[in-house]
Amino acid sequence: MWRGDVRAGKAPVRFRARASGARSIVFLAAALLAAGQGRAASNTHQSAPPLAGTYVSLAEHPRVFTTLAELEGLAKRINSPDSYSGQRFGQLATQVAGDLAANKIWDATYSGCNIETYLYVFSFEPQDPGHAATIHSDLHLDPSARPPAGAAVVAARLALYAALVKAGAAMPANAPSPDRAVELSKRILLAWAERGFRDEKGAFLRSASQFCLGDGKIDPVSMTQVGLQVARGVVYSVQAQDFLLYLGAVDDEEVRPLNTFHAAMYELIRNALNYRFVDHLDLDCNHYSNHVGAQLTGLLAAARLLDDRSKFEAVLDGGNPSISVTLPWTAYFERGIYGNDAPPNACYNNTGPDGLVSRPFFQTDAVAPGEIDDRYRNSNASHGIGYPMFTLEWLYDMAEILRIAGYDAYGYRGAHGQSIEMATQYYACYARNAGFGKLVTSDNGRACPNFSQYVGKAVNGVDGNILIGAYRFPADLEITDLEPSARTSALSGAFATDAVRFGRWRD
């Protein structure tokens, strides 16, 4: 997959698809292009309205995905008797206890070309058994040793837990020590800052051309995956550092390599994004998928952590020739969400008359306002809505960064009137009529515009976006009337303890 699970309902299914889907689909895309069965992108993007706002520097931490006032407000909500936030904090504490007891070699890092090892060890927690031997070899571990899994994700979760305790959240009974959580989070980050993502000369990797797949070959397939697989981990390493700075857990000598690391990751992700959009023959729909959402989120997060206005603004509109970002936020937003009277992006040809038989891709000729470009994926029932929800998650994550930095992404409207709220409303329709995690049918989906695109698809990943949507658009009854069922659904999701979006719900 790519950022998150495929929301099929059970964690093992999510994890398998999340780990392997990206490679198989990218290989298939390359094959289709080679065979002339796809339509190549023009590598241009239409003009989009500017985003309102001006960059606001902030000296204190946290300052990337949340602020000190918001963190303290969340702690108060956690302490409110029988609150939803308190219930989720209990889940977080339990997960952190498991992290601390995992007995993994958390400070094992990797430098080399294998993007799959970076994916599993740094960016993504579940391990694919098929990669176990390679991971042990790449990390120079004994076969009996337990390698780290999703180290950046874990580091952010540990730091979030400690930060909430410092902000005033009451620890549940038998909760783990926040000091131990801080120590492990710090150890993970410093290990990667000092030893990870290096070439044979010890310099940070900078280009997609320096990465390979598990077979050691460097080719266009491995190069297109780099930005996504690195960025989806960097988002969490940024969050972890932001909280550690708030906690006063790192001194000036330790901050220096951490800042150097995240500056290097900014350059790596930026170069990988530019390769994907300009240098790689690809389809329009691939350019505006959740891949780019992850990369833009990683770029904005790193720039905000470093409080680098030039790097931040370059990601917004691509207007800085000295910091080239060929697919900036405004252009991505314009094509990632369909608005009024918008044609579908050029994509893969259908292989059948409808989504029930057209595999692995299907797309109707029409689009409805609020639909998301990632809708064409159709290898199985979990993809058609699950992937658009990855895009929407990244858009929400970026909106939070932008909001704190002084920009109004939540009020933004594209050239066709499209918005984050519109996209949330659109997919809320399927949650309302089919139900979270349920399959869309001709009967239960008929009330939703262009429902034929989604017949046979599971309503995956919508719950979390409903919760943050209600949080940010509290007057929108199309979204807020789904809050009770979304709360219940999100409690059992694989991302219930996600450190980036934790607390972005109403109690």
pLDDT tens digits, one per residue of 194-224: 999 999 999 999 999 999 998 999 999 889 9
Q: Residue 29 is inside which H or E element, if any?
A: helix 11-34
Q: Which residue has the higher pLDDT, 202 or 279?
A: 202
- pLDDT average, residue stretch 283-308: 96
> Which range among 32-36, 141-145, 329-333, 454-458 shows the weakest confidence by mean pLDDT?
32-36
**CB-based contact 469:463 (threshold 8 Å):** no
**CB-based contact 106:187 (threshold 8 Å):** yes
pLDDT category, 132, cuts 50, 70, 90? very high
What is the predicted pLDDT for the residue at 3?
A: 35
Whether 190 maps to a domain, the answer reads yes
What is the predicted pLDDT for the residue at 46?
A: 58
Task: Round the average pLDDT of the chain to a whole number and report it.
Answer: 91
Whether 261 maps to a domain, the answer reads yes
Whether 505 maps to a domain, the answer reads no
Whether 4 maps to a domain, the answer reads no
Whether 3 maps to a domain, the answer reads no
Whether 501 maps to a domain, the answer reads no
Tens digits of residue pLDDT in 369-414: 999 999 999 999 999 999 999 999 999 999 999 999 999 999 999 9
Query: SS3 of 295, please?
Result: helix
> Which tokens hold the place of 108?
């094992």
CATH number of residue 365's parent domain: 1.50.10.100
**CB-based contact 504:471 (threshold 8 Å):** yes
Tell me which residue has tokens 């580091």. Answer: 155
- What is the signed CA dihedral for 18, 22, 24, 27, rounded to 10 degrees? 180
> Which range among 167-176, 275-284, 387-396, 407-416 shows the weakest confidence by mean pLDDT?
275-284
Which residue range is the domain that position 135 belongs to? 11-491
Question: CA–CA distance from 83 to each of 130, 157, 166, 363, 480 (Å)?
Answer: 41, 20, 19, 42, 17
- The percent of residues in the chain predicted with pLDDT above 70, rounded, is 91
Whether 499 maps to a domain, the answer reads no
Whether 286 maps to a domain, the answer reads yes
Total number of domains constituting the chain? 1
Question: CA–CA distance from 302 to each of 179, 269, 353, 405 (Å)?
Answer: 25, 10, 44, 13
Query: SS3 of 114, please?
Result: strand
Q: How far is the C-alpha of 481 from the C-alpha of 231, rounded, in Å?
A: 34
Nearest to 412 by CA among 402, 401, 420: 420
Interhelix angle 178-195/151-166, nearest 10 degrees: 140
> Which range among 33-37, 65-69, 340-344, 446-450 shows the weakest confidence by mean pLDDT?
33-37
What is the predicted pLDDT for the residue at 226?
A: 97
